[in-house]
Chain A
Amino acid sequence: MTGKYVRSVIEVFGRPPFLPLEEHSKKALLATEKLNAALKAYFAKEPSLEVVERLGAEINGLEQEADYIKQQIRTGLSSSVKIPLDPKLLLDFLTEQDCIVNGARNAVYWMKLREYGTPGGLPPLSLEIRKGFLKLGAKVSKSIETYHSLIKKLYRLVATSFSKPQLKATFALVPEVYRLEQEVDILESKLMKLIFKEEQNLHGAGVKHLTELVELIGELADRASKAADTLQTMVIRR
């Protein structure tokens, strides 16, 4: 018994997944910004592992919050709930988006495995490599920021029942996400070459550590691009 003397029609209104999706994307954006800050602390002239640790813990917190939102979205999409988009594609899209937060967490974890330029740590990295990572981090951050702007438009798109002007405004951002992902790829490739160029100084483990880190950071933009692609397909096939 509810104890409230109310018979209502509220139950017919299902729990829409679109605002929580935006919230989830916001977590991805925050996690990426924190990863970028962690990269700045890690590849600084005088690296600060404490800052990286703190930011890593914050990213873990964001990941847990994102997981909770993901579960809420999933439970809200039971078979009796009808939404204007294919729920299967929506869940695929959510999975891609979720990988951004997970990717940020993995990158910070991997970063912390080796220390360069700290007292008692490995010798400092070259300025080119450090600059390369900072550029990569900034570009990935920009890519996720653009992706988040796209997701923010999704709610408005649904609210206007996919009006033509809103569709145009939303789809205009998708090529921008692709473009940024390509720029990230280019930066990744340049940085990889630079790392292998310094193979002698870095040794095998150093090369492995840094190339893997490049991959992990770059993957965030890949995931954003894939999620944007799924979103576009989902809207077109509605």
Chain B
Amino acid sequence: MGALGIAGLYMAWNIGANDLANAMGTVVGTGVLSIRKVIFLAALFEFLGAVFFGRRVTETLAKGIVPIDRSGELDFALPSHTLAFGMLAAILAAGFWVTFATLYSLPVSTSHASVGGILGFGLALAFRGVIPYSLIHWDVLIRIGASWLFSPLLGAIFGYGLFLLIRTLILYRSEADVEKYFANLLIITACYLSFAHGSNDVAGAIGPLSVALRGLGLLRGEEIPAWLFMLGGLGMIFGLSSWGYRVIETVGSKITELTPSRGFAAQFATASVVLLHSYISIPISTTHILVGSVIGVGLAGGLSAVDLSVIWKIIFSWIVTVPVAALTSALLFLGFLEGFWV
């Protein structure tokens, strides 16, 4: 139970410290808000997003990939703590990979790693003959995989279109400096982006945790309780405030040419695409969508230079993350079973 709590908190910390901080770094980069104000706003809206709109994606991670909710119908000849071990393995595998990749500055996604971790648990169950392979929700996995491919593209298209509109209708004609008007809008989009991020990314921390708690008999009823979302939200805020400010500082100080109008277009596009995916219950990477949106704004003439080589790194992280997290999770889970299930 303690290990589960620590692993869940670590994932939440990681999401807040890096993913949310990256998104907020672009706000600081525009020079509109100070780091302290950004952290305050992001913490508030991240929490609200996690608590009030985080349920759909969390349900997908908890029950959408491995049919855990149908355990009664299955040949679950396993003790009650099997689910807890499985989810502990999934969180640890995702956490290990995210930590390793972050140390090497790879743009990996915690959502991708969580999906991989849970899939690994499902595959290990199938390997042990507990469930047939066909019972893993491959259709959901395909939908998730397709979204990982299309969501950054959608961010790019939206960012491109939005900035083209801003440029043609406002910037091209303006005599005076209009950026100050976008500065106010940017504060709103920063809140919007934090809310959207909270709604999608909280799942990576508490999705597996909720399953584990249910497996241990500590959660009753169909629905995941609100206090668990609050816990996830608080974990991400902890990550943001304890380490995220360094990431915000790094990102913010290096992005010097993102003016409020460009920042607005990129963030609005990112937040909208992320929220759309939260609505359709798909876990995606906010960072990858943000990269897509920035590229879109850049290609619409909003940035002096965009480096498309980052796309290859993202594709590499897509290809590597799921198999690595899945394999690690499966091995950990089987190891736990060998050690504890006698």
Contacts and interface: CB of A to CB of B under 8 A. Distances in A.
Interface of A: 1-18, 76, 78, 80-84, 158-165, 238
A18 B26 CA distance: 21
A84 B163 CA distance: 14
B303 interface: yes
Contacts of A3: 103
Interface in B233-267: 243, 246-247, 250-251, 254-255, 257-259
Contacts of B290: 9
Given A82-B299, A163-B171, A5 B307 contact: no
Contacts of A4: 105, 250
B307 A81 contact: yes
B302 interface: yes
Contacts of B303: 13-14, 16, 84
Interface string B294-310: 11001101111111111
B107 A7 contact: yes
A14 B307 CA distance: 5
B135 to A, nearest CB: 34
A7 B287 contact: yes
Contacts of A81: 305-309
Nearest to B247: A6
Contacts of B114: none
A2 B308 contact: no
B331 interface: no
Given A9-B26, A9-B294, A82 B104 contact: no
For B251, B295, B299, the residue with the greatest tally of chain A CB atoms inside 10 Å of its CB is B251
A2 B19 CA distance: 18
A82 B296 CA distance: 11
B257 A16 contact: yes
Contact of B305 (A5, A8, A9, A76): A76
Given A7-B19, A7-B108, 7 more contacts: A7-B287, A9-B290, A11-B309, A12-B291, A14-B304, A83-B304, A160-B171
18 contacts: A1-B104, A2-B104, A3-B103, A5-B102, A7-B106, A7-B287, A8-B22, A8-B247, A9-B251, A9-B291, A12-B310, A13-B303, A18-B304, A80-B307, A80-B308, A80-B309, A82-B306, A159-B259
Contact of A12 (B167, B175, B307): B307
For A3, A17, A158, the residue with the greatest tally of chain B CB atoms inside 10 Å of its CB is A158
B325 to A, nearest CB: 15
Contact of B306 (A1, A12, A76, A238): A12
A80 B299 CA distance: 12
Given A13-B307, A14-B306, A161-B301, A8 B172 contact: no
A84 B304 contact: yes
A9 to B, nearest CB: 5
Nearest to B313: A11
For B250, B294, B308, B313, the residue with the greatest tally of chain A CB atoms inside 10 Å of its CB is B308
The 9 tightest CB contacts between A and B, nearest first, are A16-B304, A14-B305, A14-B307, A80-B309, A16-B305, A11-B310, A84-B301, A80-B308, A12-B310
B101 interface: yes
A82 B254 CA distance: 18
B25 interface: yes
Nearest to B287: A9
A12 B103 contact: no
B306 A13 contact: yes
Nearest to A10: B254
B143 interface: no
B134 interface: no
Nearest to B262: A161
B103 A2 contact: yes
Interface string B272-291: 00000000000000010011
B105 A6 contact: yes
Contacts of B246: 6
Contacts of A164: 172-173
A162 B17 CA distance: 37
Contacts of B310: 9, 11-12
Contact of A161 (B101, B172, B243): B172
Contacts of A7: 18-19, 22, 101-102, 105-108, 287
B165 to A, nearest CB: 12
B167 A161 contact: yes
Contacts of B302: 161
A76 B107 CA distance: 21
A83 B303 CA distance: 7
Interface in B1-49: 17-19, 22, 25-26
B41 to A, nearest CB: 19
A81 B309 CA distance: 8
Nearest to B288: A9
Contact of B255 (A2, A10, A163): A10
Contacts of A17: 304-305
Contacts of B294: 9, 12-13
Nearest to B177: A160
B122 to A, nearest CB: 26
